[in-house]
Amino acid sequence: MRLGWLARRAFRGGVVTTRLERLRLGRSSALARRGPRALAGLAACAAVLPLVALRGRVPAARAALRACTQAGHLWELLGGGYEEYRG
């Protein structure tokens, strides 16, 4: 597996999870509930990524993938779409 594919998969997972929550709770409730958590998670991942990178490639990749998931949450909350397969 390549890191780029894993990053797209993590981003898509964040989008899908938030989309399902948005359908269940409604757009404004999902934004209020998930938005601050996703923003804080993305900021935390970005802040620790340089430090985690000192521990090696695998920990750095895990932190980067977590950041991709949080970015997917935010992307969906802000109304962005994601299409995995294009015909």
SS3 content of the chain, % helix, strand, coil (to 5): 80, 0, 20
Residue 1 pLDDT exceeds 60: yes
For the stretch 37-65, pLDDT in tens is 888 888 888 888 888 889 999 999 999 99
Q: Where are the domains of the chain?
A: 3-76
> pLDDT: is 44 or 29 the higher one?
44
User: What pLDDT, on a 0 to 100 scale, did the predictor assign at position 61?
Assistant: 92
- Give residue 81's Cα distance to chain centre: 13
Residue 87 pLDDT exceeds 60: no
Q: How much is the average pLDDT of 24-49? A: 81
Structure-block tokens of residue 27? 């757009």
Whole-structure pTM value:
0.81
84 DSSP assignment: S
